[in-house]
Amino acid sequence: MLDINDLTCGYESGFAIRGINLRVEDGEIVGVIGPNGSGKTTLLRAVTRALKPSAGTILLEGENLRRMNAMDVARRIAVVSQSAEYGLMTVEEFVLLGRTPYYGRLRFLETRRDLEKAREAMELTDALKLKDHLMSRISGGERQLALIARALAQEPKLLLLDEPTTYLDITHQVGILDLIRRLNKNFGLTVVMVLHDLNLAGEYCHRLALFDQGKVRKFGAPEEVLDYRLIEEVYKTVVVVEKNPISRKPYVLAISEAAREFSGKTAK
């Protein structure tokens, strides 16, 4: 689905990612993890063409992304980011904007298919009950559902999510990621998501890419990537990695300074 070869790109202040190589297969969920400033979001911005690479290529289904038409890219890749402004639009109006890549120069109004696709997307994400609410007046969790519904209205093959669980409580975090897993399982949607929570990343992703200072430090199954030595080295934090007793997936526990002091005292 997505082939990233020797990708280097960044901002005026310098390169944020250097020589990245990643291959995302059809129908898998890939989690991008790493400390703040390690280049995770930069990678997503390069894939969405918001940043121009200074070297390397990104291939989408074998085609060079930079040579593709913007509308064609938007029909295949949808993005759920935290940067959207909502103005005065209702949830339904917001979701319908997901049909923009299907508008022609001479088509100004939504067709029946556009309306059906938007409704389907709202049903799948359980956002239909919110359709007449203003985007600015709904909760963070509900807004996240609307963002995913808009992305689904684009009928994408690849869904990119930038920190989809940030600012959400645990119920909404699990709810959003369960929804993404269902979409992946039932519709074969390929997903690449940037996550800060290593435990959620380990639980929901088929493979993880661990970023460190603009490079991919390790790319593989959660059990391989969430190794305590690697995590301690990259995050510079003492951690304990255990197995979730139910899912058998790895989970990471950061050890605080207080816990270390307590542990030292009890040892004495």
Partner 1 sequence: MKNKRTHWMAAILILAGLLALAAVVSLCFGSAGMAPSKLFQALLSGENTVEHTILWDVRLPRILLAIAVGGALSVAGVILQGMFRNPLVEPYTMGISGGAALGVCLAILLGLGKRFGGWPLPACGAIGAAATISAVYFLSTERGGLNIRNLLLIGIMISFICSSLITLIMAVSKVEDLHGIIFWAMGSLEQSNPLLVKIALIVSVLALFVSYFFCPELNALALGEEEALHLGISVENAKRMLFLLASIMTGLSVSVSGIIGFVGLVVPHFIRLFLGWDHRILMPASWLCGGLFLVFCDTLGRTIISPTELPVGVVTGLLGGIIFVYVLCRPERKRRCSI
Question: Which residues in 170-189 contact partner 1 (CB under 8 A)?
Answer: none
Q: CB of 118: closest distance to partner 1 in angstroms?
A: 10
Q: Does 224 bind partner 1 (CB under 8 A)?
A: no
Q: Does 39 bind partner 1 (CB under 8 A)?
A: no
Question: Which residues in 51-90 contact partner 1 (CB under 8 A)?
Answer: 70-75, 77-79, 81, 83-89
Nearer to partner 1, 20 or 153 (CB): 153
Nearer to partner 1, 189 or 241 (CB): 189
In SS3 terms, the chain reads as CEEEEEEEEEECCEEEEEEEEEEECCCCEEEEECCCCCCHHHHHHHHCCCCCCCEEEEEECCEEHHHCCHHHHHHHEEEECCCCCCCCCEHHHHHHHHHHHHCCCCCCCCCHHHHHHHHHHHHHCCCHHHCCCEHHHCCHHHHHHHHHHHHHHCCCCEEEEECCCCCCCHHHHHHHHHHHHHHHHHHCCEEEEECCCHHHHHHHCCEEEEEECCEEEEEECHHHHCCHHHHHHHHCCCEEEEECCCCCCEEEEECCHHHHHHHHHHHC
Q: CB of 80: closest distance to partner 1 in angstroms?
A: 9
Tell me the site size for partner 1, rule CB under 8 A. 34
Comparing CA positions, the residue from 208, 219, 254, 209 lying closest to residue 235 is 254
Q: Which stretch binds partner 1 (CB under 8 A): 28-36, 42-50, 236-244, 245-253?
A: 42-50
Q: Does 103 bind partner 1 (CB under 8 A)?
A: yes
Q: Which stretch binds partner 1 (CB under 8 A): 108-116, 186-194, 218-226, 257-265?
A: 108-116
Residue found by looking up tokens 């993880």 in the block: 208
Q: CB of 98: closest distance to partner 1 in angstroms?
A: 7
Nearer to partner 1, 100 or 247 (CB): 100
Per-residue mark of binding to partner 1, 115-144 (x: CB under 8 A): x------------------x----------
Which residues contact partner 1 (rule: CB under 8 A)? 45, 48-50, 70-75, 77-79, 81, 83-89, 93, 97-98, 100-101, 103, 105, 108-110, 115, 134, 154
